[in-house]
């Protein structure tokens, strides 16, 4: 039975992990008889956003690990505890938390930096040749992890695709219900809510991503 590490970035698409993407990922893993463990960094959210108005809440402060625990039903570990030797693959669901809390892409664009503990984990899987999946906006981290020429997708958003290209990645336009696979590096990505208008559309691509991850892991 494959054992997959899932890294979350909060709870809520505007400032953390995208809830539907996270739940679909966990459901797809369970439906394919894979084990998983959720992880998140023990840091504060860069920005708390009111999910009704879409506006920031300047006075608010929330913790990424505690918020992510809501999605994991409390079964979550601090990211520093993630030992890549104990897992067969790694998945990053999307949501703006991936671009705000796990990296600085939302603020810095092509000059982005990845949170050091996130970078440590992701590079460890890459260097070990273990599969990884990146969903929605999370693929903006892929060029920094895998280097020049790595294939990935966020769908067809020109600005974000252009940023990925500027960072050395090879962006491939992709439909919402499909994936882009880099066979050499064993990394797979899907647009999910970068394009999805319905939860079923996001689910189809994420389920394909999970199946690809498990095929490699086997």
pLDDT digits (tens, 9 = 90+) for 148-167: 999 999 999 999 999 999 99
Across the strands, what pairs with 56?
Answer: 49
- β-strand pairing of 35-40 with 132-135: unpaired
Residue ranges in the chain modelled with pLDDT below 50 = none
> Residue 155 carries which DSSP code?
-
Instruction: Please spell the DSSP secondary structure of 122-140, one letter per residue.
Output: HHHHHHTT--EEEETTGGG
User: pTM for this structure?
Assistant: 0.97
* pLDDT for res 110: 97
What CA–CA distance (Å, rounded) separates 19 from 25?
A: 10
Exactly one of 11, 136, 152, 174 is catalytic; name it: 136
Respond yes or no: is residue 136 known to be catalytic. Answer: yes
């Amino acid at each position: 039975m494959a054992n997959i590490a899932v890294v979350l970035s909060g709870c809520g698409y505007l400032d953390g992990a995208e809830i539907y993407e996270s739940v679909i990922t966990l459901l797809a893993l369970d439906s394919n008889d894979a084990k998983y463990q959720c992880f998140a960094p023990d840091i504060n959210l860069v920005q708390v956003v009111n999910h009704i108005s879409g506006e920031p809440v300047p006075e608010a402060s929330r913790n990424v690990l505690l918020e992510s625990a809501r999605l994991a039903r409390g079964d979550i570990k601090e990211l520093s505890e993630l030992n890549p030797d104990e897992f067969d693959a790694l998945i990053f669901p999307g949501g703006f938390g991936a671009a705000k809390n796990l990296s600085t892409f939302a603020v810095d664009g092509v000059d982005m930096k990845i949170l050091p503990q996130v970078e440590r984990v992701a590079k460890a899987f890459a260097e070990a040749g273990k599969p990884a999946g990146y969903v929605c906006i999370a693929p903006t981290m892929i060029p920094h992890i895998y280097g020049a020429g790595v294939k990935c997708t966020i769908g067809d958003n020109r600005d974000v695709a252009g940023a990925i290209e500027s960072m050395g990645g090879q962006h491939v336009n992709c439909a919402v219900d499909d994936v882009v696979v880099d066979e050499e590096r064993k990394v797979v990505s899907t647009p999910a809510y970068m394009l999805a208008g319905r939860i079923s559309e996001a689910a189809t691509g994420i389920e394909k991503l999970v199946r690809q991850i498990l095929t490699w892991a086997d």
